[in-house]
A and B are shown apart, each in its own frame.
Chain A
Amino acid sequence: DIQMTQSPSSLSASVGDRVTITCRASQGISNYLAWFQQKPGKAPKSLIYAASSLQSGVPSKFSGSGSGTDFTLTINSLQPEDFATYYCQQYNSYPPTFGGGTKVEIK
């Protein structure tokens, strides 16, 4: 199975900050990488697919990059509604695997 490692596991940031989350795959996955946002007690929401393409309706403050084994999610101008846990997922091969999550908290 492909292991997905996210870092950091948590971070504290202020409103208006720019935040970057990293996701590393244990082997190459081309660009078959997705990012999800989950707020407490809620279902995940899809943000990005194919490493850098925004899902419909997702604001452009979210951006993704990377290919192969190293990927990043960047959130510009952090707002109160962006405080949540973010997960990456590879879907290059079965089983699809998720990273452990990055909790973005208010400083």
Chain B
Amino acid sequence: EVQLLESGGGLVQPGGSLRLSCAASGFTFSNYAMSWVRQAPGKGLEWVSTISGSGDRTYHADSVKGRFTISRDNSRNTLYLQMNSLRADDTAVYYCAKNDLITIFGVAIDYWGQGTLVTVSS
């Protein structure tokens, strides 16, 4: 059974940093690309970042480029999202998601984690 368990969310001041983690199990982690998707309170879904199975290719949304970095540790079956220079509009539930192929192109999401809430406020 695929399981994705996010952690690391919480309250942070504007300009601060946070690192989200996603512990994966139930599949061969290194064989699949992984993504982060967020959802602001009462709003729709917004793609944030995707990383290939090997970790050598990444994409980030323009809204987070230069501030957020997606990475993975295949030896620990863990996905990360390093978030720096946080702003109020980054407040959202952040979901870890498994893609259905190793590449980052043309890949659908097949499984989602339960999400972790990040609140950016003073």
Asked whether any CB of chain B lies closer than 8 Å to the CB of A46, the reply is yes
How far in angstroms is the closest Cβ of chain A from B86?
A: 20
Asked whether any CB of chain A lies closer than 8 Å to the CB of B95, the reply is yes
Residues 36-53 of chain B: 1 if any A CB is under 8 Å from the residue's CB, otherwise 0? 010000001111001000
Asked whether any CB of chain A lies closer than 8 Å to the CB of B110, the reply is yes
Inter-chain contacts of B109 with A (CB < 8 A): 34, 36, 46, 89, 91
Beta-carbon contact of B112 and A43 below 8 Å: yes
Known contacts A95-B59, A95-B61: A87-B45 contact under CB 8 Å: yes
Beta-carbon contact of B108 and A49 below 8 Å: yes
From A42, A46, A96, A97, give the contact of B111 (CB < 8 A): A46
CA of A47 to CA of B74, assembled, Å:
27
Beta-carbon contact of B108 and A98 below 8 Å: no
Which residues 13-68 of B sit at the A interface, judged by CB distance below 8 A? 37, 44-47, 50, 59, 61-62
4 closest residue pairs by CB, A with B? A49-B108, A43-B112, A96-B47, A98-B45
